[in-house]
Amino acid sequence: MFADQLGPHFVDSTDQPVLLIESKAVFARRRFHRQKAHLVLSALRHRAAELGDRAQFERAGTYREALDRVSGELSVCQPTSYAADRFVRGLERVEVLAARGFTPSRGDFEDWAGRRGAKRLLMEDFYREARVRLDVLMEGRNPVGGRWNFDHDNREAPPKQPTLDTAEPWWPTEDEIDEEVRADLNRWERDGDVRFVGADGPRRFAVTRREALHVLRDFVGNRLPGFGPHEDAMLAADDWMAHSLLSAPFNLGLLDPLEAVERAEDAYRSGAAPLASVEGFVRQLIGWRDYMWHLYWHFGHDYRHRNKLLARRRLPDWFTELDADGTVQARCLSEVLRGVREHGWVHHIPRLMVLGNYALQRGWSPQELTDWFHRSFVDGYDWVMVANVVGMSQYADGGLLATKPYAAGGAYINKMSDFCGDCRYNPRLRVGPDACPFTAGYWWFLDRNADRLQGNQRIARQLTARTRLDDLPELVQQEEARGNSIP
Ligand code: FAD
């Protein structure tokens, strides 16, 4: 089992022997968020402890070194990255089984994609097909409630109070394995073997199946009803809102997402949660999550190198260091970077509409950004980062995945958050010392990429509006001068 295949659905029987490998080299190669390294090591060591004598747990520099100590035939479920997939397929004594924890199978996805011919592979079509195939939230052949999609009900602006009226999430309690992990990471860092970004603990995310089930129960019982309406909202004093915090345990393989889908559907059927919230959550799993998984393989290994908008700027230090010395003044960016620094996690909209949006506007390299997201987030894995960053957030594939770039000015952030009230910038201003970097950056982005975006009907109106801005030359000069400096 790889360290992201830790749940019971990755073994075939309760007495099957298991090989687990902890490779230090993985952490030495890249500069991970401290809490991500902690989470992965803690999950692996907890699983080894749980399996006891059934597990052969090898701690080694590299996977290859560990495998040299093991004899006999092995089998493994399909790994989740091209690099790991290539590695196991190159080993003669390893049988590679089908992937687990995603639906449908790869073959069935390719059949579906093939049947669509030249038509776009739309998430909405994929999702509706999944609802029927898995019989989730269905009444016969129709969606329950008569609608497939409750997105319109699920995009409310944040409430006026500084936190959601939703229970605080359930938090795991650290144990002696966490203590040991913390001591090891401290030692590795002291010895100069590894370098981290971000703050250390307390551990916020589940590392065992028991903890993951607890998080799921707590979410469905106490927080799912609030998930839908405020799914897209951001509040400075409420880092978690009504999100499930399940991406890390899902991506460690501790829970099969279909278990969560079932629990959420039960909550709707028993009247414990409204349909819009349940549909919104189900859509994230058998819609977005599975769709991203399949696109990762479908688009091929080279997809990660796409750069349709020719964005080549390097990520600045203040960003990669997660604003460690607190110099960023744009409040949305400083709050979101604080969230990443403190937790290695922020929810979907800060990722897409604050971090990704800023990178897109400034013309940062999609490849550097993918690597940064991968390392800095507790739930970051190659399969899920590539399509989310290259496709959804940076439009670097020229629109294979998203129908228009997710670029937005300060007005969007002002509407969907409480960040702008106390900010030193004004979201309505695009030029001058108080001009919001997002508002100015939005027009600068459109202007720089006008030729490349020609023909995209979904952005045609804004491209025309840009030509009517009297202050466009001044704005362009201002943003070119601002470039990557601290906003
Ligand atoms: P919830 O809001 O409670 O959603 C429930 C679940 O839906 C999540 O746990 C996740 O498993 C799934 N999900 C929702 N959207 C997506 C999506 N676009 N792709 C895949 N799964 C999705 N998700 C990751 O798991 N790992 C990543 O590395 C990651 N990187 C992202 C980078 C960018 C630029 C963007 C825009 C999104 C990224 N996402 C990623 C998707 C999403 O932001 C996170 O899954 C979510 O914020 C995790 O918090 P949660 O578990 O509370 O999610």
Q: What 8-state DSSP symbol labels residue 378?
A: T
Least Cα distance to 79 among 296, 259, 255 occurs for 296
- Residue whose CA lies nearest to ligand 1 atom number 21: 289
Residue with tokens 């362009």: 476
Query: Measured from the CB, is residue 204 less than 6 Å from ligand 1?
Result: no
Kindly report the protein residue whose alpha carbon is nearest to atom 28 of ligand 1. Answer: 380
- C-alpha torsion 259→261→264→266, nearest 10: -70
Taking the C-alpha atoms of residue 89 and residue 418, their distance in angstroms, rounded to an integer, is 50
- Largest alpha-carbon pair distance within the chain? 73
Considering Cα of 214, then 219, then 220, then 222, what sign does the dihedral take?
A: positive
- The reply to whether ligand 1 has any atom less than 6 angstroms from the CB of 352 is yes
Classify domain 303-482 by CATH architecture: Orthogonal Bundle (1.10)
388 lines ligand 1 (CB under 6 A): yes
**Token pair 């840009």 in the structure block, residue:** 466
Rounded distance, CA 63 to CA 83, Å? 12
Q: Report H helices in 122-196.
A: 123-134, 176-190
C-beta of 344 in contact with ligand 1 (< 6 A): no
**How many angstroms separate the alpha carbon of residue 385 from the centre of ligand 1?**
9
User: In this structure, what are the phi and psi dihedrals at residue 74, rounded to the nearest 5 degrees?
Assistant: -135, 155
- Reported ipTM exceeds the 0.95 cut: yes
Distance CA 50, CA 139 (A): 41
- pLDDT 10s per residue in the chain (487 long)? 999 999 999 999 999 999 999 998 888 888 999 999 999 999 999 999 999 999 999 999 899 999 999 999 999 999 999 999 999 999 999 999 999 999 999 999 999 999 987 778 899 999 999 999 999 999 999 999 999 999 888 889 998 888 888 889 999 999 999 999 999 999 999 999 899 999 998 999 999 999 999 999 999 999 999 999 999 999 999 999 999 999 999 999 999 999 999 999 999 999 999 999 999 999 999 999 999 999 999 999 999 999 999 999 999 999 999 999 999 999 999 999 999 999 999 999 999 999 999 999 999 999 999 999 999 999 999 999 999 999 999 999 999 999 899 999 999 999 999 999 999 999 999 999 999 999 999 999 999 999 999 989 999 999 999 999 999 999 999 999 999 999 9
Q: Domain ranges in the chain?
A: 8-97, 106-176+184-197+204-300, 303-482
Tell me the pairing of strands 138-139 and 94-97. unpaired
pTM: 0.97
CB 41 within 8 A of CB 4: no
User: CATH says 106-176+184-197+204-300 is which class?
Assistant: mainly alpha
